[in-house]
């Protein structure tokens, strides 16, 4: 069993505020052994009760993904679909649930839209990301609405250490793709900051197979982003910080009903402020303030009309960790947010507030540990909801843990569900879920770890459209699944193998839920030879149905990607990657043409290459 680091051991044996007093948040977010999202406070990943996977900045540099989609597709239990290449509309499926049933955070701030309920992951630039944490399984007892399938939390770039550090990145590749970014970070023992700017653009591909008029051209994507992070330690007991992110750009698409040569313009912005205070040796208090704007509107070349759905959300959280005894910890929290939806349509209601209180108790023993959480949410428009979670960890020996858990979740109806003119239902209630899970975590050797989970999720009151296209609480679903991830060193190669088997069924029709592949597999291989690093990825996905009636099938596919990095000197690194090496034609969604519609697969990007140079000059 690998020895715990002194830093990690501090979290286990002391209150989280004691750990925070010795290490900054920047330092914590660079550790792959630490998870923040599971209990909204830093803890060892092996001590969390949720199935988790962490991508640090070092992982991102090694894997060289161009999009968040490429990263998340590696996580067992997570599937991504796109409507035609980079920048197209993206859907997230965690453990067979749909996009609106999983919560996405940036620096603790919700970014799920108040219109569709999903998050615009396609609008995120990988260059602005320090870390991604992915939790699978319901977490509503901690986070409230929308955390049925899981939680994805994205942390923006952080400082690299003491002194000043600069970075410059330039890349060019297929489809006239450009990647450009600048960064400056610095600080000392008490203060750290990071400023990042980036610009990505590509001429893209024709996302459809239509070859006439405005649908015959390439569909470009452009993204300009900036982020800023600053934190300061005022004393051993008090520190505070701020994080800002702004991403905006445009994505061209086909098959518009409103005009020729349509564009989707987007802006995704978040701001968060936190303050940590060690009130006493046993009490750690944290205050968080957040603001998010998720704006999207459509424009056309041939007329000035546009369609807009813009979400604005302000949030407040007060988290208190009480170390009752060396073995018992109590988390008491209060959450509140107000969200507004602005659009071209006249909604009966355009704003609502949500208030919540929650408590979570954890007990640690040499042979076992327990975790029990309870949360109460009160919403201005749809009423109140209670959620419960409970988990038992049994330590079979120093290398093997079994975790059995039960968790409840719910999804809030969106403004579109409740108030879309002509197709509204103000009487809608939240969707609810109950999940049961058994996990096995094993440290098979000095360089080998295995995580495996078997789970079942039952969803009731699911919001579906009736024959008049009016939303109703009439749907039910049952999702059974198995997922596993194996990390191993083989002949000097670092390997990561992820497997998912999932059976998501609509219990009312006994049909498979749309756009979920029942089987998927991914493999990453990486090795370093001095200054040269090489690696590759292999991804397999089973066929899936595009519609609820299971009449339109999308074929499965396999993809191979290659990557390399050459450290020319301490300041210069050259990277080359080739994605979709064998130029595989594949799709994850279909589109319809005409009435009655005929369906065709959205195009996904074929073989591409990208050459890039990263310069980190000494200052």
Q: DSSP for 570-616?
A: TTEEEEEEEESTT-----S-EEEETTTTEEEEPP---SEEEEEEEE-
What CATH code is assigned to 6-428+436-444+456-463+500-615? Answer: 2.40.170.20
Q: Give, in order, the Cα–Cα distances in Å from 529 to each of 91, 150, 518, 565, 567.
A: 38, 38, 38, 10, 11
Q: Which of 119, 194, 108, 112 is nearest to 155 (CA)?
A: 108
Asked if residue 7 has pLDDT above 70, the reply is no
Task: Please compute the mean of the pLDDT values over residues 394-418 and round it to a whole number.
Answer: 95
* Top-confidence residue, 46 or 119: 119
The structure tokens 């996009």 sit at 99
Q: Determine the pLDDT at residue 435.
A: 98
Position 5 confidence tier, pLDDT thresholds 50, 70, 90: very low
Q: Determine the pLDDT at residue 22.
A: 55
Q: Determine the pLDDT at residue 561.
A: 98
Q: Determine the pLDDT at residue 11.
A: 42
Asked if residue 15 has pLDDT above 60, the reply is no
Q: Provide the mean pLDDT of the chain.
A: 92
Asked if residue 12 has pLDDT above 60, the reply is no
Task: Please compute the mean of the pLDDT values over residues 110-124 and round it to a whole number.
Answer: 94
Task: Please compute the mean of the pLDDT values over residues 555-572 and round it to a whole number.
Answer: 97
Task: Please compute the mean of the pLDDT values over residues 490-497 and round it to a whole number.
Answer: 93
Asked if residue 164 has pLDDT above 50, the reply is yes
Q: Determine the pLDDT at residue 2.
A: 41
Burial of 530 (0-12, 13-18, 19+ CB in 10 A): exposed
pLDDT tens track for 25-43: 777 888 888 999 999 999 9
Asked if residue 618 has pLDDT above 50, the reply is yes
Q: Determine the pLDDT at residue 389.
A: 97
Q: What is the DSSP string of 111-150?
A: ---TTTS---GGG--GGGEEEEEEEES--HHHH-TT-SSE
Least confident range of 1-5, 117-121, 567-571: 1-5
Position 472 confidence tier, pLDDT thresholds 50, 70, 90: very high
Q: What is the DSSP string of 289-350?
A: EEEEEEEEEEEESS----EEEEEEEEEEEEEEEEEEETTEEEEEEEEEEEEEEEESS--S--
Using DSSP bridges, classify how beta strands 448-465 and 471-490 pair: parallel, antiparallel or unpaired. Answer: antiparallel
Rounded distance, CA 369 to CA 390, Å? 11
For the beta carbon of residue 570, count every other beta carbon within 10 angstroms.
9
Using DSSP bridges, classify how beta strands 43-44 and 262-280 pair: parallel, antiparallel or unpaired. Answer: unpaired
Three-class DSSP category at 415: helix
pLDDT tens track for 251-301: 999 888 777 788 899 999 999 999 999 999 999 999 999 999 999 988 887
Q: Give, in order, the Cα–Cα distances in Å from 240 to each of 227, 279, 334.
A: 17, 14, 19
Q: Determine the pLDDT at residue 23.
A: 63
The structure tokens 């807009």 sit at 308
- Dihedral angle over CA of 203, 208, 209, 211, nearest 10: -60
The answer to whether 391 and 404 have CB atoms below 8 angstroms apart is: yes
Task: Please compute the mean of the pLDDT values over residues 243-250 and round it to a whole number.
Answer: 96
Position 305 confidence tier, pLDDT thresholds 50, 70, 90: low
pLDDT tens track for 506-527: 999 999 999 999 999 999 999 9
Q: What is the pTM of this model?
A: 0.94
């Amino acid at each position: 069993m690998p020895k715990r680091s002194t830093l990690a051991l501090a979290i286990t044996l002391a209150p989280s505020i004691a750990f925070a007093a010795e290490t900054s948040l920047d330092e914590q977010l660079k550790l792959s052994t630490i998870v923040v999202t599971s209990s909204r406070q830093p803890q060892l990943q092996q001590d969390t009760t949720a199935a988790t996977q962490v991508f640090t900045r070092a992982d991102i540099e090694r894997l060289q993904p161009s999009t968040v989609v490429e990263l998340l597709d590696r996580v067992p239990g997570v599937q991504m679909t796109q409507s035609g290449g980079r920048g197209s509309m993206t859907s997230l499926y965690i453990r067979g649930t749909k996009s609106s049933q999983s919560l996405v955070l940036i620096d603790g701030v919700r970014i799920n839209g108040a219109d569709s309920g999903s998050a615009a992951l396609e609008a995120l630039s990988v260059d602005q990301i320090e870390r991604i944490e992915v939790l699978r399984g319901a977490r509503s007892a901690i986070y409230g609405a929308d955390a049925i399938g899981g939680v994805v939390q994205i942390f923006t770039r952080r400082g690299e250490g003491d002194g000043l550090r600069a970075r410059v990145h330039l890349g060019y590749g297929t489809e006239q793709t450009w990647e450009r970014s600048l960064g400056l970070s610095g600080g000392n023992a008490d203060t750290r900051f990071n400023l990042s700017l980036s610009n990505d653009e590509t001429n893209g591909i024709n996302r459809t197979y239509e070859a006439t008029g405005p649908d015959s051209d390439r569909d470009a994507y452009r993204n300009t982003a900036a982020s800023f992070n600053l934190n300061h330690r005022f004393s051993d007991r008090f520190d505070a910080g701020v994080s800002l992110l702004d991403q905006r750009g445009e994505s061209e698409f086909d098959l518009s009903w409103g005009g020729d040569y349509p564009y989707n313009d987007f802006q995704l912005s978040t701001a968060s402020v936190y303050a940590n205070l060690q009130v006493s040796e046993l009490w750690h208090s944290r205050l968080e303030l957040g603001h998010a704007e998720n704006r999207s509107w459509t424009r056309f070349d041939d007329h000035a009309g546009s369609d807009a759905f813009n979400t604005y959300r302000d949030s407040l959280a007060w988290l208190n960790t009480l170390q009752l005894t060396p073995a018992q910890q109590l988390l008491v929290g209060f959450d509140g947010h107000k969200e507004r939806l602005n659009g071209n349509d006249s909604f009966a209601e355009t704003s609502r507030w949500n208030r919540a209180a929650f408590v979570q108790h954890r007990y640690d023993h040499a042979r076992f540990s327990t975790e029990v959480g309870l949360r109460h949410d009160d919403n201005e428009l749809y009423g109140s909801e209670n959620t419960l979670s409970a988990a038992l960890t049994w330590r079979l020996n120093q290398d093997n843990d079994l975790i059995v858990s039960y968790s409840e979740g719910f999804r809030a109806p969106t403004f579109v569900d409740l108030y879309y003119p002509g197709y509204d239902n103000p009487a809608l209630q939240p969707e609810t879920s109950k999940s049961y899970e058994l996990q096995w975590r094993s440290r098979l050797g000095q360089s080998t770890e295995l995580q495996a989970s078997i789970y079942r999720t039952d969803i009731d009151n699911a919001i579906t459209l009736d024959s008049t296209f009016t939303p109703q609480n009439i749907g039910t679903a049952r999702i059974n699944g198995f997922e596993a991830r194996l990390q191993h060193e083989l002949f000097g190669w670092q390997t990561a193998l992820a497997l998912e088997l999932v059976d998501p069924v609509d219990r009312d029709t006994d049909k498979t839920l749309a756009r979920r592949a029942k089987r998927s597999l991914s493999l990453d291989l990486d090795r370093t030879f001095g200054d040269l690093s090489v690696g590759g990825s292999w991804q397999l996905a089973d066929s899936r149905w595009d519609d609820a009636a299971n009449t339109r099938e999308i074929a499965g596919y396999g993809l191979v990607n290659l990557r390399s990095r050459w450290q020319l000197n301490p300041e210069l690194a050259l990277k080359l990657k080739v994605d979709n090496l064998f130029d595989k034609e594949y799709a994850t969604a279909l589109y319809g043409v005409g009435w009655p519609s005929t369906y065709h697969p959205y195009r996904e990007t074929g073989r591409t290459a990208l050459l890039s140079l990263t310069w980190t000059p000494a200052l």
